[in-house]
Amino acid sequence: MDFKDKKAVIIANDISEDSPRQKENIELVKSLGAEVISVLIQNIQRINPKYYFGSGKIEYFSNISKELKADFIVVCEDLSPRQLQNVKDEFDMLVIDGNQLILELFNQRATTAFGKLQVELATLSYMYPRLRGMRKDMDRQFGVMGMRGAGEQKLELDRRVLRKRIDKLKEDVKAAQVVLDTKSKMRSDSSIPIVSLIGYSNTGKSTLLNRIIELSGADEDKRVYADDRLFATLDTHARRIELPHGGDIILTDTVGLISNLPHQLIDAFRSTLLEIKKADLLVQVLDISNKHLDVEIETTENLIKDLGLGDKKIIKVYNKADKVVDKHIYADADMVISAYNDGDVRSLLKAIELELYGETVEDTKFFPYSEAKELSLFMENNQIISKKYSDEGTVVTYTKYLKRGL
């Protein structure tokens, strides 16, 4: 579906159109490229089994949307397939719910073959119980969400065909996962610690990863895509980074989180999220400029709990300090930084190094001339301060970690 420059009306059960939840809904719609022309709410005390909302309110919402000449409606509630169809019948225009909104956004953002497989599986799993109600939308729209290419033709979708496609996608995802698991195992089996950036969508994780790549001297072609929008990237990236005193880490950037993420997406991306479990250290990235930071913190910490990561060491980093005047220090903050400040990023690298390897001291080691190969290997794997030659061999002064190994 092409939502670019389309006009949207958001409908939700809430007490205020300025609530954190509605602010997030507005950002999601904007991320699709659409314009939010109105937010309509009803504070529901009792759910209407037919529409979810009261029948009088649905009629009122429909009239307002038509007067505003909306192109589509976003109902940000978990409607049953029957409720969603009844609402569509009342509005007589394209209506999507909050889950479909996020799924469509993921469809736009997926770039890798594996990411596209995961998103299509999540999308079709969502569509399956709602197929009957979606046929009108497919008649109204050119193409089928989640099925690019051939899906842009008008397809006859029935439950049998859809079920067959879902089963095939599950097989493809499982096969692709085997390849990724092999790469992941190679990283886990190496002696190099794994550090994962974890956090809400649009907290600056990818920007932070790029700044670390730049300052650590890694190749510029290792940079990842970053943008100031929700779900700018869905892919997990892994980069080898050299720490200030010579130690190495594998730094990974995981898919961003959001409150009320559709369970179809959680299921599809579970294997990706479980990559976090293999990390030796988590860096939780939070947006200090977010006015609704409590929602962001709760969502991230719930995931950490759900994935059984509570026993892992976490460095809690409040990012985007450049966007606030009053840099309020939260009691649980390990660091408050801006990813665009070189000093802040270097301080984070030092904190990671300290946690993984411990303090550093200066030490010396002697290599007789007969151990030239051993000397060469040692110099490759340690931060060398100086070396001196004697009649018997070479004395190397180097930086030694007090805590080596995990």
Cα four-point dihedral sign 5, 9, 13, 15? positive
Stated as kind and residue range, the H or E segment containing 78 is: none
- In one-letter notation, the amino acid at residue 179 is V
Residue 199 assigned to a binding site? yes
Residue 206 assigned to a binding site? yes
Residues 6+ apart with CB under 8 A from 266: 273
Compute the distance between CA of residue 49 and CA of residue 85 in angstroms, rounded to an integer.
12
Residue 111 assigned to a binding site? no
Torsion of CA 262, 266, 267, 270, to 10 degrees: 170
Residue 319 assigned to a binding site? yes
Residue 180 assigned to a binding site? no
Residue 203 assigned to a binding site? yes
For residue 375, which of 358, 361, 392, 359 has the smallest C-alpha distance?
392
Residue 307 assigned to a binding site? no
Q: How many helices (H) and strands (E) does the chain have?
A: 13, 13
Residue 62 assigned to a binding site? no
Contact by Cβ (8 Å): 257, 233: no
Residue 272 assigned to a binding site? no
Residue 201 assigned to a binding site? yes
- In one-letter notation, the amino acid at residue 10 is I
Residue 202 assigned to a binding site? yes
Residue 235 assigned to a binding site? yes
For residue 97, which of 48, 53, 154 has the smallest C-alpha distance?
53
Residue 256 assigned to a binding site? yes
Residue 347 assigned to a binding site? no
Residue 154 assigned to a binding site? no
Residue 54 assigned to a binding site? no
The DSSP-derived string for 247-259 is: -EEEEEEPPPB-T
Cβ neighbour number for residue 166 with a 10 Å cutoff: 16
Cβ neighbour number for residue 370 with a 10 Å cutoff: 9
Query: Look-up: residue for tokens 């990237």?
Result: 233
Residue 260 assigned to a binding site? no
Residue 234 assigned to a binding site? yes
Compute the distance between CA of residue 102 and CA of residue 260 in angstroms, rounded to an integer.
10
Residue 2 assigned to a binding site? no
Annotated binding-site members: 199-206, 231-235, 253-256, 319-322, 338-340
Annotated binding-site members for GTP: 199-206, 231-235, 253-256, 319-322, 338-340
Annotated binding-site members for Mg(2+): 206, 233
